[in-house]
Amino acid sequence: MVETSSAARGAARRLALLVLAAGIASPGAAHAALDAGSDPCPRPAPGSAIAEPKDLRSVDGVLDVELSVHNHREGDGSIRYCYLLPDGAEAPTLRLKPGDLLILHLKNELSAVEPDAVTAGSPVHAHGHVQVHPKPPDPCMSGMMSLTATNLHFHGLTVPPICHQDEVIKTSVQPGDPPFEYRFRIPADEPPGLYWYHPHIHGFSKAQVIGGASGALVIEGIERANPTLAGLPERVLVIRDQDLQNPDAPPSKSEPVVPRMMIDRDGDSANNGTGFGKPAKDLSVNFVPVPYPDYPPASLVMKPGERQLWRVLNASAITYLNLAWLFNRAPQQLGIVGIDGVPLNRNGNPANAIEWRDHIGLPPGARVEFIVTGPPAGSSALLVTRTVDTGQGGENDPNRALLAVTTAHDAPEPQSTLASSLTPLPAPPRPWLGDVLPVRTRKLYFSEKLKDPNNPNSATDFYITVDGETPTPFDPASDVPNIIVKQGDVEDWIIENRSTELHAFHIHQIHFLLLNWSGTPVDEPFLRDTVNVPYYNGRMLQYPSVRLRMDFRDPNTVGTFVYHCHLLEHEDGGMMGLIRVEPAEPRM
């Protein structure tokens, strides 16, 4: 089924290229034909078998990728976005080893399917694929923010925040620009695990990501951190959210009656606290949608009782996940071996560390890697997400099934298998973060405010503020950092939530250690790059918070980058700040 659709996609693209080559039409007209005739971002039907994203592996230490980003307006008015390889494969998984070089040419093929809203930079408009201004701005200095501008963030990687590497504040590629080259080396000490790539244009991140612009990036070698994984079949699951396919449908009859259903200012259904009812967004698994109200799960066949490593990415724009693995409705143990790309023995604990849990929460942007065991012969299993209480001000995130797994003795193996070599990873180059004392402590807080305090239906401003400063939405035109730190330092940051909904704190370039979650000390043997910050319920004596040990020791962190809420409508709405990491030694 997947091969058919990818073949059809390839045929449509070849046809479009032929039209262009024959000079029958102008590029603009060819693009219009593409829009009318075929969808560059085709998606499987609900209930389909999931396909794995295509794997692209580095060869002789280099991975060279040509990636283009496309969009398309669907019949229901929603706009899909997708990353395509020249062969039409969508959202490939980039697989590299520590020390490898990634060269990625990003071609912006976005078209102006909606009127552009330019929030910064020069008021330049692109029409379709045609660049209309005489002097295109330097993509490194552009700062252009619009629905058709794009760039890439490599979420979780500790690569420098400079143009052509992992810089998202100024870097902006326009339609009509030549392919933009990303070129950087994966650090030799990058922990092996699951990372991801997505666009990061301030003000427009949500639109592009919720449309489907995201893909997985795997740093190979997790079996070197945890030899029990050697030789296991492995599979990448990318869970995305999207606007409801059936927004007007009543909830399924199998659900209890939900007394309250409110629509928030974004037009999404507000949290009703019941675990049921209309979700704010639908979810998809490897692009197979699981739409409200009946949630027909995507499907997969496994050999009975087979152990596999599943690498799960929450690439949702706003939706929290709380994953569980059920046999006959009974939760089964998942053997967690990595979070946010970092294996569980990163603290120097003996290898083979596995944490067996019957559920795992994943905020937007986070990843988990776990061992899953297939159901016994003749039975089936369900991967579900349990309801997440996002707070009074949050979105409704009900219980729903995602993936139904059946068994067959001749089920095909996943396309990738972990290496069986057991060469251990070298020890991390610096002491474990939990053993380093911070040089200072900072406090930041999430807050929200109605634009018009007298109108409860007015839009919301979103802030992340250094305690003591005045809350201000992120200003993309400002170069003034909110926080300045020195490379080599380790700091503790307390992130407080003064709003009545969950937020997901994320910072570029580094990982951090969670020390305290909502008043409870924790001792985690791995690092994170995204963490859920519990909401304020209006009655607590203190605002809830997390305490994080922030690691600025790596020289790759020098430069200016961002920290923000990974609920992208919050980030787009201003919940982002600027940090500058200054070199350890002052320049002479």
* List of residues contacting Cu ion (CB under 5 A): 503, 565, 567, 570
Residue 175: helix, strand or coil by DSSP?
A: coil
Least distance (Å) between residue 268 CB and Cu ion? 13
Nearer to Cu ion, 269 or 530 (CB): 530
Distance, in Å, from the CA atom of 250 to the CA atom of 153, rounded to the nearest integer, reads 38
- How many residues are listed for the chain in this entry? 588
Q: Which two tokens stand for residue 436?
A: 């380093």
Least distance between Cu ion and beta carbon 209 (Å): 14
Minimum distance from residue 522 beta carbon to Cu ion (Å): 21
CA separation for the pair 66, 181 (Å, rounded): 9
How near is the Cβ of 320 to Cu ion at its closest, in Å? 11
Tell me if residue 321 falls in helix, strand or coil.
Answer: strand
Using the minimum distance from each CB to Cu ion, give the nearer residue, 499 or 509: 499
Three-state secondary structure call for residue 357: strand
CB closer to Cu ion, 327 vs 543: 543
Return d(Cα 190, Cα 492) in angstroms, integer.
22
Closest separation between CB of residue 587 and Cu ion, Å?
37
Rounded CA separation 359/537 (Å): 24
Q: Answer yes or no: are the C-beta atoms of 463 and 575 closer than 8 Å.
A: yes
Give least dist CB 397 to Cu ion, A: 13
User: How large is the greatest C-alpha to C-alpha distance in the chain, in angstroms?
Assistant: 72
Say whether 210 sits in a helix, a strand or coil: helix
CB 106 within 8 A of CB 213: no
190 DSSP 8-state letter: P
Distance in Å, CB of 518 to Cu ion, minimum:
16
| Other beta carbons within 10 Å of 511 | 25
The amino acid that residue 196 corresponds to is: W
Is the Cβ of residue 107 or residue 503 nearer to Cu ion in the bound state? 503
Residue 174 or 465 with smaller CB distance to Cu ion: 465
- Least Å distance between CB 374 and Cu ion? 36
Shortest reach from residue 503's CB to Cu ion, in Å: 3
* Shortest distance in whole angstroms from residue 528 CB to Cu ion: 16
Question: Nearest 5°: phi and psi at 356?
Answer: -90, 120
Main-chain phi, psi angles of 373, to 5 degrees: -110, 130
Contact between 79 and 48 (Cβ < 8 Å): no
Q: Min. distance of Cβ 571 from Cu ion in angstroms?
A: 7
Handedness of CA 432, 481, 507, 472 (dihedral sign): positive
Residue 180 or 474: which CB sits closer to Cu ion? 474
Q: How far is the CB of 567 from Cu ion (least distance, A)?
A: 4
Cβ atoms of residues 530 and 546 within 8 Å: no
Return the number of the residue (281 or 570) whose C-beta is nearest Cu ion. Answer: 570
Nearer to Cu ion, 278 or 570 (CB): 570
Cα–Cα distance for residue pair 237/310, rounded to 1 Å: 7
- Residues 6 or more apart in contact with residue 428 via CB below 8 angstroms: 189, 346
Nearer to Cu ion, 170 or 281 (CB): 281
How near is the Cβ of 448 to Cu ion at its closest, in Å? 8
Closer to Cu ion by Cβ: residue 180 or 320:
320
Rounded distance between C-alpha atoms, residue 444 and residue 508, angstroms? 16
E-strand stretches of 387-439: 400-407, 416-417
Question: Cα(55)–Cα(50) distance, rounded to whole angstroms?
Answer: 15
8 A C-beta contact, residue 340 and residue 529: yes
- Which is closer to Cu ion, CB of 173 or CB of 568? 568
Asked whether 148 and 174 are in contact (CB, 8 A), the reply is yes
Output 128 or 577, the one with its CB closest to Cu ion: 577
Name the residue nearer to Cu ion (CB basis): 10 or 473. 473
Distance CA 446, CA 461 (A): 11
Please state, in angstroms and rounded to a whole number, the distance separating the CA atoms of residues 492 and 432. 15
| Nearest CB to Cu ion, comparing residues 510 and 567 | 567
Residue 445, C-beta contacts closer than 8 angstroms, at least 6 positions apart: 464, 465, 467, 495, 496, 497, 498, 543
- Rounded to whole angstroms, how far apart are CA atoms 548 and 586? 27
Distance, first Cα to last Cα, the chain: 63
Q: How many other CB atoms sit within 10 Å of the CB of residue 113?
A: 16
Q: Rounded distance, CA 218 to CA 194, Å?
A: 5
* Residue 281 and residue 245 in contact, taking contact as beta carbons nearer than 8 Å: no
Minimal distance, residue 566 CB to Cu ion, in Å: 7
Q: Which is nearer to Cu ion, 80 or 202 (CB)?
A: 202
Min separation Cβ 131 and Cu ion, Å? 35
